[in-house]
Amino acid sequence: MTAPLFTLALGAGQHAHVVDTAEGAGQLQVSGLAPLAFHEEGGRLHLAALPEGFPAQALLALLGSRFARRKKLAHLVLETAASEAFAVEAARLGVIDHFIPLRPGTFELHASRASFWQHPLPWLTAPASGHTAPAWVFSGEKRHPRRPPLPAGEVYRRHLPGLNATFSLRTVDVDRDLQAFNKWMNLEQVAYFWEQTGSLEEHAQYLGEMLADRRVHPLIGCFDDEPFAYFELYWCKEDRIAPYYDAGDFDRGWHVVIGESKHQGAGKLKAWFNSLMHYMFLDDARTQRILGEPRIDHTRQIDFLKSQGFGHLKNIQFKHKRAALLLLEREFFEDRAL
């Protein structure tokens, strides 16, 4: 028997994970329940009968064990004995897209790759911004949705089988992250684009201001819990970018500093980039567009963003820089294999 593949926290101390026992066969194990055997046959997964009280979201562990390791797998069919009430619940919880009754008490549960990657449970480790009800406020003359307070600690975690590594995001902690932030911002290649060199005291003040500004979410990116990058996510509606295009209420933008050179390879670049975009779309289902505004002479970043689906809207002139305005649509991102 091999080690667990995809582990999922269900809440209240309950977990679900998958263990492969043979080629195309394994067990779905949920805390407090007997293991459920499954096997692949004819392009579908046959799962043992689901017991009463089985949590529908536990199926995400089984879906994740397949979708996360098979990038060309676009659709998965589970066949299992279950109640219709369970099938309805699974669909309403976003675990499956739809179901088909095969015979009394047996169902086909259809799940798509795109829907699986849009479910927050396997990835978000803090409450999402999208939980907050919409209410409108003003920042100066800018009318925008009230933004929720920032969560402390880790907000996103994703295992990357191709790299045999885990990427995570956590909200900046000034005491914990100041030394690294100061080092990164004073690197020559970072200073040219960010223009944010300074002392520890100046950077402590800067991070404190970012944490106090609900327009912004400052984050530390990690590979296997080792910090390597600083990200600033921002809501476009109340940002300086808003006057340059028709900003939506939940459009989001981002800035990045890669501070540790050992994490700058192409494989890790695509891994953290896709994960960061994934987090922004998961954090609020109302976010339909992600914006980027790199300096016009940062051609390497511009070319990379275009290769990942960002469209070049136009060039814009800020007070401090001339920038390329780039946009990624949720629908395009969902169609890609994460």
Q: Which residues are catalytic?
A: 293
Q: Which residues contact 151 (CB under 8 A, 6 or more apart)?
A: 126, 127, 171
Rg of the Cα atoms in the chain: 22
Burial track 196-230 (b if 16+ CB lie within 10 A, e otherwise)? eeeeeeebbebbeebbebebbbbbbbbbeeebbbb
Helix (H, G, I), strand (E, B) or coil at 308: coil
d(CA 154, CA 145): 24
The values of phi and psi at residue 187, to 5°, are: -70, 140
**CA distances to 36, 42, 83, 239, 288 from 99, in Å:** 20, 18, 11, 43, 27
Burial track 146-184 (b if 16+ CB lie within 10 A, e otherwise)? ebbebbeebbbbbbbeeeebebbbbbbebeebbebbbeb
The dihedral region occupied by 277, where left means phi > 0, alpha psi between -120 and 50, and beta the remainder, is alpha
Q: Could you tell me if 287 and 250 are in contact, meaning their C-beta atoms sit under 8 angstroms apart?
A: yes
- Look at strands 75-81 and 98-103 and give their pairing: unpaired
- Look at strands 136-139 and 98-103 and give their pairing: unpaired
Q: Could you tell me if 233 and 280 are in contact, meaning their C-beta atoms sit under 8 angstroms apart?
A: yes
Q: Which helix (H) or strand (E) holds 327?
A: strand 322-329
